[in-house]
């Protein structure tokens, strides 16, 4: 069987390093939750920590912070080495199998995290399972397609087959931080023309409002005839299941709650080119201007952006290798002995690939709020309320 090369300098060089002692209580909770049988080490993107710090801390006792979303990942190699003298590694298969909430422990100074029904469904739809998914070449992995996984660097029998190398590069997106929201208020007073919509539903256009929550499970809309005249207008008051509750007159509506299903990937922020602008396709759609000359704003007043409460998640990386046993030249006395010899070697090869030839590693990821300032500025320019001071206003980023 092939085994991972655990490198004490991985926090600087990239690759698989040892499990840090501060991580061990979290790893114990993680395994109990997600069913991963074991974690052999922690994955570090290259330059996770300076070389001097790493030498002093040895990557074991020092507490190296999680990686941040949207940070560039230089190609960081994962090395697997042959465990037997006559074993040769033919190919590597590396994938990000699943995502989990990074377990919280006492002293984290974070609010307690409790999975609601909404969280369970989001995680079931988008966070993967322990399935053995793998690919070939330099391709997007099965979950977060901003992270690139390159298989079998160097080709078959690189370094005479004693080492199999795969690599991870790209960026970690906000794919796993599904609980972000965009909040919008629509109405005549916000530079929009909603007369036809309001009248078709029996509302007075001058007293018609739409409160909109764009979430990973769809666009939740509540139609009403008034907004609070004082106090704080709060749109994210959820019920115990994590879904919008009734708030005064009107009701939050979506298509099929509680059996709600949407295309997870279109409702989360997962592309770097969109991270500082629209966020994701649904945020883009619900803030675009429309009409023959695109002069009508779809969003009247953008109330705010709800950041993720997950704080830190963890990717589970799975690495396996296909290997063969290369026997020494036999000197059989008969055909029968030769057949027995090669049969034994075949069984040994099968055993090498079946016996513990799958390895799991963990990779903590922290939410990075830096792109949100640019994102907010970009989307706020699309709000219809900008027309109140200039009736000819049309955003350049419609």
**What residue segments make up the domains of the chain, in order of their start?**
2-174+311-367, 181-306+372-388
One digit per residue, the tens of pLDDT, for the chain of length 398 reads: 688 999 988 998 999 999 999 999 999 999 999 989 999 999 999 988 754 454 445 545 567 889 999 999 999 999 998 877 677 788 888 999 999 999 998 888 887 788 999 999 999 989 987 754 343 333 334 589 999 999 988 766 555 667 889 999 999 999 999 999 999 999 999 999 999 999 988 899 999 999 999 999 888 888 888 886 666 677 877 888 898 876 555 577 775 444 566 788 889 999 999 999 999 999 999 999 998 888 899 999 999 999 999 999 999 999 988 877 776 655 556 555 555 544 454 444 445 444 447 899 999 999 998 999 999 999 999 999 999 999 999 999 88
Contact 188, 387 (CB under 8 A): no
Note whether 186 and 111 are within 8 A (CB): no
Sheet strands (E) in the chain: 2-4, 15-17, 41-44, 67-68, 72-82, 87-101, 138-140, 147-150, 163-171, 181-187, 209-215, 218-224, 289-290, 296-297, 301-306, 312-325, 358-366
67 in Cβ contact with 25 (< 8 Å):
no
Quick check: bond before 169 cis, omega within 30? no
Q: What is the pTM of this model?
A: 0.86
pLDDT, position 328: 60
Give me the pLDDT at residue 134, please.
Answer: 40
Q: What is the CA radius of gyration of the chain?
A: 27
How far is residue 367's CA from residue 13's CA, in Å, rounded to a whole number? 23
């Amino acid at each position: 069987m092939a085994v991972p090369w655990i490198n004490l300098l991985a926090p600087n060089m990239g690759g698989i390093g040892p499990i840090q002692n501060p991580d061990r209580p979290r790893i114990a909770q993680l395994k109990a939750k997600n069913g991963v049988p074991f974690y052999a080490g922690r994955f570090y993107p290259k330059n996770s920590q300076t070389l001097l710090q790493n030498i002093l801390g040895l990557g074991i006792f020092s507490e190296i912070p999680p990686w941040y979303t949207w940070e560039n990942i230089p190609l960081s190699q994962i090395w697997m080495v042959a465990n037997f003298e006559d074993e040769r590694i033919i190919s590597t298969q590396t994938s990000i199998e699943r995502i989990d909430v990074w377990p919280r422990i006492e002293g984290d100074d974070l609010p307690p995290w409790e999975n609601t029904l909404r969280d369970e469904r989001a995680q079931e739809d988008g966070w993967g399972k322990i399935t053995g998914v793998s690919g070939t070449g330099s391709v997007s992995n099965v979950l977060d397609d901003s992270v690139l996984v390159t298989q079998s660097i160097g080709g078959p029998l690189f370094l005479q087959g004693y080492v199999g190398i795969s690599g991870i590069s790209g960026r970690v997106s906000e794919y796993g931080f599904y609980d972000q929201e965009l909040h919008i208020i629509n109405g005549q007073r916000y530079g929009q023309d909603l007369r036809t919509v309001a009248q078709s539903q029996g509302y007075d256009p001058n007293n018609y409002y739409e409160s909109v929550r764009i979430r990973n499970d769809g666009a939740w809309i509540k139609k009403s005839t008034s907004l609070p005249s004082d106090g704080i207008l709060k749109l994210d008051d959820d019920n115990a299941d994590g879904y919008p509750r009734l708030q005064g007159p009107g009701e939050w509506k979506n298509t099929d709650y509680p059996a709600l299903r949407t295309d997870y990937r279109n409702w989360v922020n997962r592309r770097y080119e969109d991270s500082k602008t629209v966020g994701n396709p649904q945020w883009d759609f619900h803030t675009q201007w429309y009409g023959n000359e695109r002069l009508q704003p779809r969003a009247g007043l953008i109330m705010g952006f709800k950041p993720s409460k997950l704080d830190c998640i963890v990717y589970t990386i799975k690495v396996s290798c296909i290997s063969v046993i290369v026997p020494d030249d036999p000197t059989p006395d008969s055909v029968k002995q030769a057949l027995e010899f090669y049969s034994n070697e075949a069984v040994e090869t099968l055993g090498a690939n079946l016996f513990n030839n799958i390895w799991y590693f963990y990779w903590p990821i922290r939410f990075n709020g830096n792109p949100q300032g640019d994102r907010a500025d970009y989307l706020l320019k699309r709000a219809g309320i900008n027309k109140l001071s200039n009736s000819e206003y049309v955003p350049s980023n419609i």
